[in-house]
Structure 1
Amino acid sequence: MFPPAWQVGRYLETYAKKFLPPGIVKLNRRVIAADFDGDDQTGMWNVTSVDQTSREETRQSFDYLVVASGFFHRAGPRIRQTQMQHGSGKRIQHSTQFRDVASFSEDAGKIVVVGGGISGSEAAATAAFQISSAKHSPGQQSKWADSKVYHVFDRPFYALPRFVPQDPYNPAIQDFNLSPKFLPVDLTLYNIGRRGGDGPITASIGQVPPSKAEQGHEFIRSLLGGDQRGTGRMELVSKPDTIKYPAFTGISDLYAEFVRDGLIFPINGRVESISQGQSQNFSVDVVSQSLWANTDQKDKSSLNEVTGVIEATGFQSHLEYLSANVKQALEYDPSCLRVPFLLSRGSIFSERVPKIAFVGFYEGPFWGVMDLQSKLIAQRWGPEGTLPDELKKLDITDARSVRQTIKDRKLDVPQFWMADYVGLIEEFARDAGLQRDDATLGKGGPLFPSRYREKIEDGGDAAVVVGEVADVLQRSEKESLYVAAAAFRGMQGTWTLHRKIDSRHPSMPSGSFKGTAHFHPRNPTDPIYSAEYLYTEDGTLTMTNGMAFPATRRYVYRYSELDDTITAWFAEEDGVTVGNFFNKWDFYAPSDLEHGWLAKGSHWCSPDTYKSNCEFRFRGAGLETFGITYDVSGPKKDYSHESWYSRQIPGTV
């Protein structure tokens, strides 16, 4: 459901081979100039490109020009730097350049991430994960593994995991559903059933009214199980007087728990400058003064001993290859990075430059929208030259209004001003004369390109994809699909652990254990697994005979995306290396509303048999508590122990 870059590349190669004649796609070439010559009817585009290997330039003429080079063209403006030493700039990287914390310094220090939202949360979580993995993996530990991540952002955001509940709240008990059904975040967010109302659906573009903004906050909080104050950091919490403005989000499985554990420190504010002076490390000056700051006063502070800075400060797309005349006709404004050109509704056409069109040229583009943008372009420039009356107007009112609102720094502009995927895909499909396939999914369900076709009865590959999505929805509803993924993600971090041990063997007394457990994320030590934790527990074991002594355990937990399973493994004597297999959990639904998701497992560990039963109680996408019971029987062992894990409140012991 979440393909890595190489899989996307393979898909695009396959798509090109199937649908494009040979020689259409020219690779390893960069367009350096594009100018329009002539009138609107007979004029031509003169395009100059350069071969990236031979440096040979080629000039060609075309009837039409489609700009599909992407909105996120290059890194946004850099943060002001002062008193920098020669060569230190490589330790200040844009989020598109950042790959490895080790590239900053061999020593431990502060890693500062500047900017919130999608890029900032991903960069901060990636840096924290690399630190966690370096600290808790086999092999020699690097000094930088003791680093911390400081994340500076002006506006709170919600860290959404990749899998979220489709039924987080249960009206029957007026509380959160302890065993919700999970789906990938896109299939939940872009469900047309959430829109309600009668009549055609149109896209909401631009400013968000307070009532709709509040509904957005409520919906996201229901998915997460709260407003994120459970992380112990109010910097992530939108205050009551700010939920009238649109909610911002990031997508990360790891971010929130790294915050709760103190590996990521969120800071409300804006970075003014980065300086170095005589020290090898940096100082980062932060100013906190906004509606979201924890103080009403202008508070200025500095982060010192900074070994590296990641600038998640956005992007800019100036389309340098377009001529000055074309840019002027498109009302180019270099000061507004979010709306540099004024285009018609849906960011496709321009009335003043009728032979140019844009695909995916807006913040946060999705393939479904880009596919329909392409269809509308083909309709307009095709033999019949048809377009709906609404699109023929080529109205740029939306773009002009949003641009001015952004320049006025209004707070009711959403994170992505053209982010209404459901509205856009419905509106564009209607304009393109496509039908929505409701035969399999009904009138609700998630929206995606394959649901829209010229003739539903044509079927083909699109119908196959619709069937596959329907199967995913069915397995989520009737089986336990994605529950293991959600449970594994929820286990991350620090827990208070209580264990009761009941012995049935005369030579072994019963007892209880109280302590702290940690699930430390690290790189999988076997590539067949998608994710891995080093599990550690430390505390005091008190026996019924009065004896008490320190006790510790180490295990390794692994998640496999291929079969959606969690397995547990013993740790070797070094406490970090994976040893023998211990257990595997099979998830199943409870028979009532009072229990969370259940799991069971059985394993023969010579000469004893271990049977396990687990319960995972969710609150939204997060785990509120979970329990594991083992019943052990054999020639030398006969006991059971029941362990319950509850979230530790940050700042308490």
Structure 2
Amino acid sequence: MPKTVCIVGAGPSGLVAAKSLLHDAPKGTFDVTVFDSQTRIGGLWPSQKTDNDGLVHPLMVANQSKHTVQFSDLAWEDDAPELPRAWQVGRYLELYHQTYCQEAKLILGTRVEKTETTEAGWQVHTKSPDGTTREESFDYLLIASGFFGRPVVPESIPKNPEVPVVHSSQYRNLKGLLGEGERQGSKILVVGGQMSGVEIAGTIATHLSAAVHAPGTSLIPNVDKYTVHHIVQKPVWVMPLFLSPKPSSAAPPFLPLDIGSYNLATRSYPLTNNQGHISTEAAKHFSTIYECTLGTNQAVYSPCLTVTSEDASNPQFLAVSDNYMEFVRSGLITLSRGKLDTISGKEATVSPSNEKVDDIAAVVLATGFEASISIDFLPPSVKQELALHPDDLSNTVALGFHNTYHPAVPNLGFVGFYRSPYWGVMEMQARFLTNLWSSGGPESPSLSPSMKEALANDTSIQKTLSLRTDPRASQFPMGDYVWLMQEFAAALDLTLLDPPENMRQLKMDTLTPARYPSKHLSEPRQAQVDKSLRQTEATIWAAMTSDKFAAKAVFRSLLGEWKLERELISKLPSHPSGHFSGTAKFLLRAGTREGRESEFDRFAAEDGDPVTEYLYIEEGDFKATNGFSFRATRRYVWRYNERKDELSVWFVKTDDQKRADYLFHRVEFAVPDRDYEGERECRDSWRATAGHLCIDDFYDVNYRFNFQAVNLRGWRLAYTVKGPQKDYTIDGVYTR
């Protein structure tokens, strides 16, 4: 007779737990029931573009690529973006459920209210929205209710604030935050300086920039008066979504940040845990790596974000945002270093400096979540065994073998109950519990030697308890991804698949969930593993040997203001030579439809988001060699097409210079000559060309983009223009 399992939560961790119980144990071993209080599956991840009721905006771009945000035996569609949006992740989970979890009994819109331990297992009390209560008995209880239980609101926030206060998970747009009418105050205060604080500050600044620079009239009155003020306790390294595995190159290749981060070719074996307690030496080592990755200690952006030698001696924190740093440089985001002390009216006080932040229009809290509410239904005696600590957001409970179970409660399991985005670890946790329970539990003689050894040597509980009071605990103390995958694989006797030979040549050995497939795969599951591996290999190969993602990296790095010096040399006396000196601004806004109506409509309909573009404005003084001088300005619209990985420049309309008119040119990148064996490169920059025929005049365009790690340190744009009435060259140099 099968053992019954109650799974609480139908998000990614609950679904992968159900799949593992149903497919990684002999058929009929387990009878699985999944409860979720929501009326849909997916947990945090919505599956509809219009689903704004959850904790994640449906159009949010994941900060890990599709190669990491997946399970081993279900590949993404080939045309899925490298960095999927939240609703696309929700669709992936729907397909995963349809493919592997149909045999599980799924009960949605039903909350687990209380559980009780019995001699046989668990008594589970549930309640549906209409108030109907039920009691059912199960042999095992598996908690997959997630770490993100309830938003934390600091005590410093008044009970009846004078300005709108929302949690970062509730923010959707400026209108929802500020309302439609005129609002007093000019600063949107963001509280919280870690991952979600940086992300939401960058998002709000993006929305402000888009509202100010969009064509037409803004829905937000006087939107140009608003700025973001961000309170950060310590410097945090802010990584863009695409990094380079060769940051010292002048023409670096680019890949989604997780592909390089999980490159086993840069690690020594056996892998050791680089998280948990961080020594001074380890902190300095990480600081060196991050500074090399970014090409800066961040001093060029703000003193508050500068990682000094003293900062580098302490545990390092990371955040991810494409736009945050340039908005800080431009002043759209201003910073205070410290901690929010009080808010009174429209003024906040920052400690310990006692700095005052006045003229506040709204407050957004990026202060994390209380995880303990996700396990409120457990009996007090069990919470005591788990050493529940509601105020410790990183180590809420102390669990054995990397947050999966507790030896005192062997019929209770956890999947995904930790601060980490790594789906591969969720899958490993699910496999571990499946193996443990199908073998009869931690004391069973049926356990494999590798499982017995793993349990005998496990110190996870002790480490969790010690890290609670450790001032040098890492940002994600459970353990680093590749080491955790190794630990689970050793316990489960799973083999890491070797990388293909062409990946070895590139010194790329990226760990993805598909590299650790289950032992006994059906043909359809094996086909999905193979497809996933091919997708990752293709992405890496294209990025390392072609111009793939170069346009993306250039487009991101253009944001903000540049100093522009341009020489014009004319061979015709009718067009004087001269020098232009001024500024060029790339102003971020939502993508517009003009000039590309059919493509825009299709992209918006299929993906739900027209992404972003720049309104380019240059202003300065032109001094001709004949002594004549005048004020000069010009405008373009720069666009990046994610599906085509294509950068293009468009003329603006003469009667509305915020609107694109027609295509000027597409930027064609030239692939640098690389000799991977000798680590030698024959180009000193990314180069690109373009051409444009304007009636009888041909514009021959040449670009040179000079990178310092992930950021442009400068670039050149040169034109040679020839025609019946024109014969001149323009050479412009852009520097920060």
- For normalisation by structure 2, the TM-score amounts to 0.80
Match of 2:84 in 1: 3
User: Which digits, 9 at most, give the CA deviation of each residue in 1:197-237, with x for residues without a partner?
Assistant: x4x32434420122221111111111111101111x11101
Structure 2 residue 436 is the aligned partner of structure 1 residue 380: yes
Q: 1:154 aligns with which of 216, 220, 233?
A: 233
Match of 2:138 in 1: 62
Percent of counterpart pairs with the same letter? Answer: 33
Q: 2:250 aligns with which of 155, 159, 178?
A: 178
Match of 2:727 in 1: 638
Q: Is the 8 A contact 2:467 2:477 kept in 1?
A: no
Match of 1:651 in 2: none
Structure 2 residue 516 is the aligned partner of structure 1 residue 452: yes
**How many corresponding residue pairs?**
611
> How far did 1:270 drift?
0.2
> How far did 1:445 drift?
1.3
Shift in CA distance, 553/155, structure 1 to aligned 2, threshold 3 Å: same
1:345-364 aligned at under 5 Å gives the runs: 345-364=401-420
> How far did 1:570 drift?
1.0
Q: Is the 8 A contact 1:102 1:144 kept in 2?
A: no
**For the residues of structure 1 that align with 2:646 and 2:658, how far apart are their CA atoms?**
21
1:141-540 aligned at under 5 Å gives the runs: 141=218, 142-169=221-248, 177-196=249-268, 198=269, 200-231=270-301, 233-276=302-345, 282-288=346-352, 299-318=353-372, 319-383=375-439, 386=447, 388-393=451-456, 395=458, 397-407=459-469, 410=471, 412-440=472-500, 441-442=503-504, 445-454=509-518, 459-526=526-593, 527=600, 528=603, 530-540=611-621
Q: 1:139 aligns with which of 216, 236, 249?
A: 216
Q: Is the 8 A contact 2:196 2:366 kept in 1?
A: yes
**For the residues of structure 1 that align with 2:320 and 2:520, how far apart are their CA atoms?**
34
- For normalisation by structure 1, the TM-score amounts to 0.90
Match of 1:551 in 2: 632
User: Which digits, 9 at most, give the CA deviation of each residue in 1:568-620, with x for residues without a partner?
Assistant: 11112322111111110011234555521011111223232222110100001
Structure 2 residue 666 is the aligned partner of structure 1 residue 584: yes
Match of 2:48 in 1: none
> How far did 1:361 drift?
0.7
User: Which digits, 9 at most, give the CA deviation of each residue in 1:485-530, with x for residues without a partner?
Assistant: 0010011111000111122333111111100110011111134453
Structure 2 residue 704 is the aligned partner of structure 1 residue 615: yes
Q: Is the 8 A contact 1:338 1:403 kept in 2?
A: no
**For the residues of structure 2 that align with 1:404 and 1:426, how far apart are their CA atoms?**
23
Q: Is the 8 A contact 1:84 1:275 kept in 2?
A: no
SS at match of 1:435: coil
**For the residues of structure 1 that align with 2:648 and 2:516, how far apart are their CA atoms?**
40
Structure 2 unaligned spans of 5+ = 1-81, 441-445, 594-599, 604-609, 674-680
SS at match of 1:149: strand
**For the residues of structure 2 that align with 1:579 and 1:166, how far apart are their CA atoms?**
38
SS at match of 1:422: helix
Q: Which range is displaced more, 92-101 or 481-490?
A: 92-101
> How far did 1:302 drift?
1.4
Shift in CA distance, 26/635, structure 1 to aligned 2, threshold 3 Å: farther
Q: Is the 8 A contact 2:251 2:706 kept in 1?
A: yes
SS at match of 2:400: coil
> How far did 1:341 drift?
1.2
Amino acid at match of 1:61: S
Q: Is the 8 A contact 1:494 1:518 kept in 2?
A: yes
Match of 2:172 in 1: 99
> How far did 1:305 drift?
0.9
> How far did 1:454 drift?
4.2
Say what the alpha-carbon RMSD is for the aligned residues.
2.0
Amino acid at match of 2:331: G
Match of 2:41 in 1: none
SS at match of 1:230: coil
Amino acid at match of 1:483: A
Q: Is the 8 A contact 2:202 2:324 kept in 1?
A: yes
SS at match of 2:475: coil
SS at match of 1:515: strand
User: Which digits, 9 at most, give the CA deviation of each residue in 1:432-479, with x for residues without a partner?
Assistant: 111111142459511111011245997421122111111111111110
User: Which digits, 9 at most, give the CA deviation of each residue in 1:285-318, with x for residues without a partner?
Assistant: 1013xxxxxxxxxx21211110011111111111
**For the residues of structure 1 that align with 2:515 and 2:539, how far apart are their CA atoms?**
15
**For the residues of structure 2 that align with 1:30 and 1:578, how far apart are their CA atoms?**
51
> How far did 1:102 drift?
3.1
